[in-house]
Structure 1
């Protein structure tokens, strides 16, 4: 019997059946991770946090590059919005398009991170530069230092900055676990990078030395309401999230030795699901061009369908139970210890 995943990767399984199978997998994940009694579930999460404290800051960074960040920018230009924001957008009542939703979320970052012109800003895990380029244009007297583990992303952002006449951007190519900075920043912004990090304690210790004493760190991560688990096997891990994890909404609050929590917000998962559906629609509309971009892959059609499956799986995840199980967490932190 042929593996159903093999059939799906060939484009032979209708989306309706794929979505049904994904929802069954999600229900199984909830049972697997949270089906025990409260004490055993908490003991498992406590053990995982212990393992994170004794891990490297980041692992499998080469795999993450191969799976996401060294993929040609042209593919992302086909499926993302005009800002190339490769993370959840915000669909308020005024948003009529993906472009509107990108802008709405970037505006939310500015408000929640308390950004102002003239600040020194560190964009940690900058992706294709959606926040960096937006902030550089919005705050011309600010200087933005962007960090990516991908040389391709650095070159893309630098080219975009030149085209837009932005001279207040510096892009560094570095694994966040090896990043060493001597200057201090007023703000650190990190969007959907901490899911790829392991040792939050050591990373936040580093960030505390990069921030001014009254500086702020704004974090955007996807998370589960209460479950915390690694991506430790299976199709998604092998193809898209090697070395990653699914934090719980309160995970960062357990690593407060060097940074204390100022505020936190929950962003309903349906905003991310709608974002992913918009990406999927754009990818489908540009299938011919996408296959041409992927022609260097061992099997372009399989790669194309893997990207479709990835977006379908993530969309169903964030839409599950009305976006209340898996969603996006926003956090504001500042250097110092939590009050006892």
Structure 2
């Protein structure tokens, strides 16, 4: 009898205390749920065991990455529906232990356990980061190298497929939503260069230089000398090849180096684009002080960084389960106010803050479209699990930016000399 989907729907509604917002297709071919709704495909009983052993985001992520759980149709619509039901379904803020004291919840869990079969916890997918201990100190040089390698040493061919020829892995800057990704990424690099007021002969330090896009753009278009640093061996090899192809080896040096080990300042300007998210709250002041010390008086820093919304109780903030386990190990997002405060504590004068949140949503949707359009090739290059990780995290992130759950900001800061002469014009935004 094919009734798994109907049973799963009924038990889930009993657990949530609300209608299931998606249509469920179960491993036996049965379907249940509202017609026309996004279809959540539960491919086997193992998916339920993953959710039961790790209720919440991490269990869902494990089921998705392993291929036990998938979506038939619009992924964005499915994610929005699931988020609304699971995380935004009301004012119930009970802990799991408190919820299990509810007899209806206990009965639903018992029913799901019976439906899932033998209660053995499946091993996490191999794409999940393995840690010896969460109590070990974050953001040592060694742990940062491992974290960066996990995310960026996936294969340059895979990143080319997703990012396109620009190989820029940060928010683009769109003139219109209908524009091309390449134009929007070029405009973002040009915006950074204008904010830094780059001129021929200047020295630029590009912290977290990635595949060399900013370094090449600055040297080619503005005649500056650039040092780019990254912890990724694969990024560095790709960036050096690009530099050589552009004939810029006399102006651009790419190093595999921790920003904390850069000691050949002063620089006229520093760009940090999509790198500071890896620094961590306990190291952020050190990061800011290091960059301050590498700038000459009057030098500018452009810090381009994703930020989260502040929590009323900041002590409750924890690293995101899926993102931390599969995407950016040890990455941390801070509210923009904290970032500005730490930069100023380090000695910088913050002169301009620009939010470009909507631009990142557009960028992520383009990356997802590129990935989905070339899905078989992506699976061949990175493996099915890794490809699923990138599809889920980029689609979910696009929705988070669109809904103002996270943002991205460009902060222009100056190492203002004691004279107080910042070097900026009276009407600062000459770059627009």
Question: What TM-score comes out, normalization by structure 1 length?
Answer: 0.82
CA contact (8 A) 2:175 2:184 kept: yes
CA distance in 1, matches of 2:410, 2:92: 26
2:339 pairs with 1:252? yes
Structure 1 counterpart of 2:10 = none
Picking from 136, 150, 154, the partner of 2:232 is 150
Structure 1 counterpart of 2:319 = 232
Q: How far is 1:201 from its partner?
A: 1.4
CA distance in 2, matches of 1:249, 1:25: 28
CA distance in 2, matches of 1:277, 1:86: 13
Q: Compared with structure 1, are the counterparts of its residues 180 and 163 closer, same or farther at alpha carbon in structure 2 (3 Å cutoff)?
A: closer
2:222 pairs with 1:135? no
Structure 1 counterpart of 2:244 = 162
SS of residue matched to 2:301: strand
Residue-by-residue CA offset, 1:55-98 (whole Å, 9 max, x unaligned): 75768313422332111111110010321110001111386211
CA distance in 1, matches of 2:302, 2:294: 14
Q: Compared with structure 1, are the counterparts of its residues 268 and 332 closer, same or farther at alpha carbon in structure 2 (3 Å cutoff)?
A: closer
2:329 pairs with 1:213? no
2:373 pairs with 1:285? yes
Q: Compared with structure 1, are the counterparts of its residues 151 and 5 closer, same or farther at alpha carbon in structure 2 (3 Å cutoff)?
A: closer
| RMSD of aligned Cα (Å) | 2.8
CA contact (8 A) 2:149 2:231 kept: no
SS of residue matched to 2:345: coil
Q: Compared with structure 1, are the counterparts of its residues 57 and 230 closer, same or farther at alpha carbon in structure 2 (3 Å cutoff)?
A: farther
Q: Compared with structure 1, are the counterparts of its residues 75 and 85 closer, same or farther at alpha carbon in structure 2 (3 Å cutoff)?
A: same
Picking from 180, 193, 197, the partner of 1:110 is 193
Q: Compared with structure 1, are the counterparts of its residues 132 and 230 closer, same or farther at alpha carbon in structure 2 (3 Å cutoff)?
A: farther
CA distance in 1, matches of 2:151, 2:228: 18
Structure 2 counterpart of 1:46 = none
2:96 pairs with 1:13? no
CA contact (8 A) 1:231 1:243 kept: no
CA distance in 2, matches of 1:99, 1:217: 25
Q: Compared with structure 1, are the counterparts of its residues 26 and 94 closer, same or farther at alpha carbon in structure 2 (3 Å cutoff)?
A: same
Q: How far is 1:231 from its partner?
A: 5.2
CA contact (8 A) 1:85 1:102 kept: yes
CA contact (8 A) 1:57 1:202 kept: no
Q: How far is 1:238 from its partner?
A: 0.4
Structure 1 counterpart of 2:412 = 332
Structure 2 counterpart of 1:86 = 169
CA contact (8 A) 2:167 2:211 kept: yes
Ranges in structure 2 where 5+ consecutive residues have no aligned partner: 1-47, 52-59, 94-136, 421-432
CA distance in 1, matches of 2:149, 2:86: 26
The higher relative CO (CA closer than 8 Å, separation ≥ 6) is in: 1
Q: Compared with structure 1, are the counterparts of its residues 87 and 264 closer, same or farther at alpha carbon in structure 2 (3 Å cutoff)?
A: same
Q: Compared with structure 1, are the counterparts of its residues 159 and 260 closer, same or farther at alpha carbon in structure 2 (3 Å cutoff)?
A: same
2:351 pairs with 1:263? yes
Structure 1 counterpart of 2:286 = 202
Picking from 172, 195, 209, the partner of 1:126 is 209
Question: What TM-score comes out, normalization by structure 2 length?
Answer: 0.65
CA contact (8 A) 2:327 2:389 kept: no
